[in-house]
Amino acid sequence: MKTNGVRVKKGQAVLAGRVLGALVLGGLWTVTAGNQVEAARDYSNLQDLGKVTLVEEKKEPVVVQAEPETAAEDTYAGGQVSRKSSIGVLGKKDFMEVPFNVISISEETMQNQQASNIIDVVANDSSVTDLTLSGASNAWSIRGFKTTQQDVQLNGIYGVAPRYYTGIEYLENVEILKGPSAMLSGMAPNDTVGGVINYVTKHAGDEDKNTVTLTYGEGHQFTQQLDMSRRFNDGKYGVRLNVLNRGSQEDAYKNESNSANTVFMGFDAKGERWRTSLDMGYIYNDIENPQYQVTMSQATANKLTALPSVSDDATFGAPDTYRRVTEKFALWKGEYDLNDDWTAWAAFGMRNTSQDGLSNRFLLNNVNGNARVSYVHNRQINKAISSEFGVRGHLQTGSLSHEVSIAASQVRYKVYEDKPTVTPTYTTSVYSPSWQTYTDGSYGPYLIRDNRVQQSVGINDIISTADNRWNFILGGRIQQVKDTSYSYSGSTLKSTTRYDETAFTPTFGIVHKVNDRMSLYANYAQGLSLGETAPDGTENAGQTFAPYKTTQYEVGAKFDFGKIATTISAFTMKNPSFITTDDNYYALAGEQRNRGIELSVFGEPREGTRILGGITFMDAKYITLASSYAGYEGNQATGVPRWSGVIGVEQDIKSVEGLSVNTRLTYNGKAYVNMANTLSTSPWVRWDLGARYKFTWDKTPLTVRANVYNVLDTVKWHALQGSTTNAIYLGKGRTFTLSVSADF
């Protein structure tokens, strides 16, 4: 191999010659596992050293090892975003090198915005729409398709992340990959097709850490948090501990309290050729008096000329409802370098979730505001076991290089439920809800409701030209789903539904690096969904449908100017839709097409000024519908605004050392509530403000943060997504959060 006049043969020991060592230490060159020399991005300080002679020493060959995976190892200018993200079976890649729209939000951003849950984090991306009703009902959409916490990955693995708890105190990064990703990661557990969110857990850094944070706000919540880490044996072993206790009298949602106790531990170790990590977590989360949505039938929604005019502090959650959750999880991952070119990895994880939830349904019956309240008591145990094995390595065919990945994964789910009957069902008004005392039913045994196995094998090849200007991605995954669902009459088994389905999902991508600052890309990707479950009240209630596919075509351009980066993409996605037919059966009988354009930006365009945000245009339409819904073809999909945007700016105040201020504007255009497009929410703008001040007191570094969410206290109706949902909910009002962090 010849690089700028320096010739290096594979297998030579290149420690001799201190000039090369100086180049490595100077950050101008990097040595790859094959003892090749590659130029780094920054050539500004490169000097001509003349002819260089490399002398082979009679020593053991030097094997250059990759450091253990660390989420914060490569943050972009400004520290708000990391350059690299985990792209499923492809591994960890720089955002400029992959044919997908991806962003990785850093721990620093989460801390400075005082984010307490995943919804606060994904609010920085205009392609993600918040669909959260309350602390007990967290959901969002990506590119116009709904997803929930249940479809989040933990360090790239499905099934292990907490099923209900959305706190982020144990996370180093939150990665958002937009678009379907069945080839990259396998099928999501619960129908996600618009994109994937991956949680990257905290591990010990190079320096010891002892941080205590006290937080008050978001209603009347007081939170204490400990974050500490250590490295041992010259950095070979690391441990990180995060402990949180949150007491709550009332949170940001009306009359709701949200208390939590969590413990998370992350261990990691590295050797000459191996790396391993173990993450464990325990969660207890108690939410009392949660807020709920207002639903309505298609007939009622079509008759309404406007949404109900209610007070900003209206609540549609009945008193004494609750959701109490205990979750435990563990995930082990390991890597071993088989040689300089090939690495094998394995992962094994499990999660056990116990939930006791008493909720109410608030159904708007007519245009006069009359409503019906009913209750549902769900006691559930949810278990998951996940595993993954794979190899990744490099091959050379002529002038083309190949990075080949092969992976096999399996996720096993079991759900046990007990649903006591709760009475009564009664009428009230949406304008002034009144509540009656409920009577809970007798508890029975936990009966198995669902037993599912998802397993897949994926193979992928990244083909690169000699100048690395063109990258081609070819891959596919064979996914098998075996599912058995059970229906009961009381505690007696009434019926069993089984299916065993297999599907193949290919993905193709191309990246052209026009120069060091610009990349063009395109992809074709498929998503695979388990299929929805027929809701209560339909003739086939409880039926789970076979997997179905979503397809996407996307083109885009990425620009990296060193201090600021931007991505612009255009895409079209088609996804089958489930609707309730005229004879009251829930069935796959339609198709939704989402076409969109996204523009995102992040970085530090000038020293002390940081920006993060974007704008999205979405044309989401029903293009084929069966039964009585055929008249809605061509209408905008419910709950999906045409325009959405967010821009956050943070500014250091040079005249006051350690002081920074920030602001964020979020816009959502109107969204339709019903498929007929006769009822819609109003556009809204939310303004957030914040500040932080870093200083030292008695030799202890302190950081004080203050944030105001929704400064103008604009509380608007929001529309939920779903073909036949016809549901609305009130957004969160103004809240204030104050915290103090001390580093000991």
Residue 38 confidence (pLDDT) above 70: no
pLDDT band at 306 (very low <50, low <70, confident <90, very high): very high
- Domains of the chain by residue range: 200-743
pLDDT tens, residue by residue, 63-76: 333 444 444 458 99
Which pLDDT belongs to residue 662?
A: 98
Instruction: Return the closest-CA partner of residue 24 out of 13, 11, 38, 12.
Output: 38
What six digits make up the tokens of 177?
Answer: 């990959």
Say what the pTM is: 0.88
The residues with which 248 forms a beta bridge, in sequence order, are 221
Give whole-number Cα distances, 657 to 125, 281, 609, 692, in Å: 30, 38, 14, 11
H helices then E strands: how many in the chain? 5, 40
Average pLDDT, whole number, for the chain?
88
Give Cα separations from 474 to 90, 402, 511 (angstroms). Answer: 11, 11, 12
Least confident of 292-301, 584-593, 645-654: 584-593
Cis (ω within 30 of 0) for the bond into 424? yes
Please give the pLDDT value at position 621. Answer: 95
Q: Is the Cβ–Cβ distance between 317 and 291 less than 8 Å?
A: yes
Please check the confidence at residue 6 and state whether its pLDDT lies above 80: no
> Does 13 have pLDDT greater than 60?
no
d(CA 28, CA 609): 27
Quote the pLDDT of residue 61: 38
The predicted pLDDT at position 329 comes to: 99
**Do residues 668 and 655 make contact, with C-beta atoms less than 8 angstroms apart?**
no
In tens, the pLDDT along 235-284 reads 999 999 999 999 977 766 778 899 999 999 999 999 999 999 999 999 99
What pLDDT, in 10s, does the model give residues 345-395? Answer: 999 999 999 999 999 999 999 999 999 999 999 999 999 999 999 999 999
pLDDT tens digits along 557-587: 999 999 999 999 999 999 988 877 777 888 8
pLDDT over 90, % of the chain: 74
H/E stretch holding 305 reads none
Burial label, 508 (beta-carbon count in 10 A; 0-12, 13-18, 19+): middle
The per-residue pLDDT for 48 is: 44
Give residue 190's pLDDT: 84
Looking at this protein, which amino acid is placed at residue 655? S
Angle made by CA atoms 467, 473, 474, in degrees to the nearest 5: 135
- In the β-sheet with 81-82, what is the strand arrangement from edge to edge? 81-82, 101-106, 171-178, 195-201, 153-154
Q: What does the H/E/C string look like for 492-506?
A: EEEEEEEEEEEEEEE
Q: What is the pLDDT of residues 400-445, one digit of tens each?
A: 999 999 999 999 999 999 999 999 999 999 999 999 999 998 899 9
**pLDDT band at 313; cut points 50, 70, 90:** confident
Q: Cα–Cα–Cα angle for 680, 714, 254, nearest 5°?
A: 95
Token look-up 């769900």 returns 378
Contact 183, 505 (CB under 8 A): yes
Q: What is the mean pLDDT of residues 527-536?
A: 79
Using the CB atoms, write b or e for 444-454: b if 16+ within 10 Å: eeebebbbbbb
Task: Read off the tokens for 97.
Answer: 């090198």
**How do residues 677-699 score in pLDDT, each as one tens digit?**
999 999 999 999 999 999 999 99
182-186, 296-300, 701-705 — which one is most confidently predicted on average? Answer: 701-705
Give the pLDDT band (50/70/90) at residue 547.
confident
pLDDT at 62 over 60: no
Phi then psi for residue 180, to 5 deg, are: -65, 150
Beta carbons within 8 Å of 207's beta carbon, 6+ residues apart: none
**Residue 403 structure tokens:** 């990075």
- How many C-beta atoms lie closer than 10 Å to residue 247's C-beta? 14
Q: What is the pLDDT of residue 2?
A: 39
DSSP state of 124: T
The domain at 200-743 falls in which architecture?
Answer: Beta Barrel (2.40)
Q: How confident is the model at residue 56 (pLDDT cuts 50, 70, 90)?
A: very low
Q: Which of 124, 126, 212, 117 is nearest to 171 (CA)?
A: 117
Residue with tokens 């949810």: 382
pLDDT in the model for residue 658: 97
Please spell the DSSP secondary structure of 661-696, one letter per residue: EEEEEEEE---BSSTTS--BPPPEEEEEEEEEEEEE
**What is the band of 4 on the pLDDT scale with cuts at 50, 70, 90?**
very low
pLDDT digits (tens, 9 = 90+) for 432-482: 999 999 999 889 999 999 999 999 999 999 999 999 999 999 999 999 999
Share of the chain above pLDDT 70, in %: 90
Q: Is the pLDDT of residue 27 over 60?
A: no
The larger pLDDT score, comparing residue 321 to residue 630, is at: 321
- Token pair in block for residue 704: 């004080």
Length in residues, the chain: 744
- At residue 724 the predicted structure's pLDDT band, cuts being 50, 70 and 90, is low
The residues that bridge with 384 in the sheet, in sequence order, are 351, 413
> With contact defined as beta carbons under 8 Å apart, do 558 and 96 qualify?
yes
